[in-house]
Amino acid sequence: MGPGVLPALGWRVALAFLAALFLGLVLGGLAWWLFAAALGLFLHLAYALSGLEQWLRTGKRRSRAAADGILGVIYADIVQLKQRARRRKKRFHRLLREVRDSTDAMHDGGVILNAEMEIAWLNDAASRLLGLDPGRDQGQHITNLVRHPNFVAYIEEGEFSEKLRMPGPLRNTHLSVQLIPYGNQQKLLIAQDVTREVRLEHMRRDFVANVSHELRSPLTVIAGYLESLGDETSLDDVWREPVAEMQRQVARMNSIVHDLITLSRLEAAEHPAGQEPVDVPGMLQQLHRDALARRERPADLSLRLETSALVRGEEQELHSVFSNLLNNALRFTPADGRIECRWWQDEDGLHCSVTDTGIGIPEALIPRITERFFRVDSGRAREVGGTGLGLAIVKHALLRHGGQLEIHSRPGEGSRFTCHFPPSRAVLPASAVSQESDEAP
Ligand code: ADP
């Protein structure tokens, strides 16, 4: 009730009761006159209230006179409230238009999803990049419309800390998408067009792969001639050492070219690794035997096979993984050191660790050692015959098997490289399966 209501009500009540009092005192029957005044006031209020109700409902005022007094004040207050609400609505609409215009001007797509993963809102870029219709697709489940298997898996997994790269709905386009949870189980889906970056990446990869392939033939020819030259009995002794050094350098170049080709092949592969059962225990035994046969190696070199389980995957890639890890351990561990390779299975999947008591890696550099050509001590790494590509190959090959590489290391104490494979990649060897079925009643 506004400040003007009480006076407006007050003088009418006072006037009515004063008139009733006067008439009652002059003519008698005071109670009746007071009752008549109260009734009059009540009827007047009822009539005015019905007018107010009609005005609120239809927007039409009955008459100026009916809106006098107390109701006139209420009318004025309501009109003011309505004007204020209209102004607030206008301001809100302007703000909304600005937000809509700015989000539509964004190059990145934005989609608001509710707790059920249904589309609540999207900007222009989202409809262009993801092929969505802002009108028709509202309320639809996002995976009914964006159906790429990687996207569906990303949504189903519910782990949104990383961005996902996937092909866009338009030909030859690539998107990077990420879901950002906020508020009450709502999510903001951000989609970026990364076609240019992906194209550049492809060009770089193809360039490296092409150069490596082109280098292979000349290197083979040079290596062949150098070998013949090294075997040549008439070669002057002064040339023996330079020829041997050239042979070592050509062998190094060959290893780099070989590793570059392997890495480009792994990077270019769009699908996960195949599902052929690979005898990893047998592979590790062979690598262990080869390591034992080396002239220079740590005295203590052990292999612990705790499971005979196999991995579904690509044999050549898995061989690269384990041979790179074991070779690194052998190269960075002194003769009095120890290397242990372990293969085991638990509810998290299959695991292979290669532990050494070698020179170790400074903690700050651990995240970087899987980068191409990154070496902790490049002089020493080259000396012991590394290409700088081994761990990059390991990381990529494991990713293609749904696996991960975990690294623990302390300088001067040693390192442990562990490969983790998901349970879905584990498979029992045929012999174990037949044994199990023999044992079945
Ligand atoms: P490289 O061919 O130089 O060994 P990698 O990619 O295999 O290339 O390894 C990168 C770097 O990581 C190595 O140069 C070395 O500094 C470090 N590193 C790898 N494995 C080990 C290990 N077992 N012990 C100590 N350092 C290691």
One-character DSSP codes across 23-69: HHHHHS-HHHHHHHHHHHHHHHHHHHHHHHHHHHHHS----TGGG-H
What is the CB < 6 Å shell around ligand 1? 324, 328-329, 332, 356, 358-361, 369, 374-377, 381, 386-392, 415
The 10 Å CB-count burial string (b at 16+, else e) for 126-157 is: bbbbbebeeeebeeeebeebbebeebeebbee
Among 73-82, 204-213, 314-323, 415-424, the minimum mean pLDDT is found in 73-82
| Residue among 199, 327, 313 nearest 259 (CA) | 327
Alpha helices in 269-400, H assignment, sequence order? 280-292, 315-331, 378-383, 390-400
Among 31-35, 161-165, 220-224, 431-435, the minimum mean pLDDT is found in 431-435
CB 6, CB 18: distance < 8 Å: no
Cα(329) to ligand 1 centroid in Å equals: 8
pLDDT category of residue 441 using cuts at 50, 70 and 90: very low
Highest mean pLDDT among 94-103, 317-326, 373-382: 317-326
pLDDT above 70 for 367: yes
Mean predicted confidence (pLDDT) in 96-108: 86
In 61-163 the beta strands, taken as DSSP E runs, fall at 109-113, 119-122
More confidently predicted of 284 and 55: 284
- Distance (Å, rounded) from C-alpha 262 to C-alpha 219? 17
To which H or E segment does residue 207 belong? helix 195-231
pLDDT above 90 for 72: no
Angle, alpha carbons 369-375-376 (nearest 5°): 90
Mean predicted confidence (pLDDT) in 340-351: 96
Q: Which atom of ligand 1 lies nearest, measured to the CA of 385? A: 2
Structure token pair of residue 202: 């492809």
pLDDT above 80 for 413: yes
- Distance (Å, rounded) from C-alpha 302 to C-alpha 143? 50
- Tell me the C-alpha to C-alpha distance, in Å, between residue 441 and each of 429, 431, 436, 437: 21, 18, 10, 8
Question: Going by CA atoms, what residue is nearest to atom 8 of ligand 1?
Answer: 388
To which H or E segment does residue 70 belong? helix 69-105
Phi, psi of 357 (to 5 degrees): -110, 40
- Give the pLDDT of residue 440: 44
| Pocket test residue of 252, 361, 389 for ligand 1, highest count of atoms within 8 A of CB | 361
pLDDT category of residue 29 using cuts at 50, 70 and 90: confident
Percent share of the chain, pLDDT over 90: 66
pLDDT above 80 for 379: no
| Residue among 88, 76, 52, 68 nearest 1 (CA) | 76
- Give the pLDDT of residue 2: 47
Cα(373) to ligand 1 centroid in Å equals: 10
Among 66-70, 194-198, 199-203, the minimum mean pLDDT is found in 66-70
Cα(357) to ligand 1 centroid in Å equals: 14
pLDDT above 90 for 4: no
Question: Going by CA atoms, what residue is nearest to atom 3 of ligand 1?
Answer: 388
pLDDT digits (tens, 9 = 90+) for 232-285: 888 888 999 999 999 999 999 999 999 999 999 898 887 788 899 999 999 999
CB 351, CB 432: distance < 8 Å: no
**Other beta carbons less than 10 A from residue 38's beta carbon:** 14
Q: Which atom of ligand 1 lies nearest, measured to the CA of 393? A: 6
Cα(313) to ligand 1 centroid in Å equals: 25
Strand partners, 323: none
Q: Which atom of ligand 1 lies nearest, measured to the CA of 333? A: 24
Question: Going by CA atoms, what residue is nearest to atom 20 of ligand 1?
Answer: 328
- Give the pLDDT of residue 267: 86
Cα(217) to ligand 1 centroid in Å equals: 28
- Distance (Å, rounded) from C-alpha 251 to C-alpha 260? 14
**Other beta carbons less than 10 A from residue 181's beta carbon:** 12
To which H or E segment does residue 177 belong? strand 174-182
- Give the pLDDT of residue 11: 78
- Distance (Å, rounded) from C-alpha 67 to C-alpha 320? 92
Alpha helices in 234-296, H assignment, sequence order? 237-268, 280-292
Among 157-171, 232-246, 255-269, 368-382, the minimum mean pLDDT is found in 368-382
Cα(369) to ligand 1 centroid in Å equals: 7
pLDDT digits (tens, 9 = 90+) for 214-238: 999 999 999 999 999 988 888 888 9
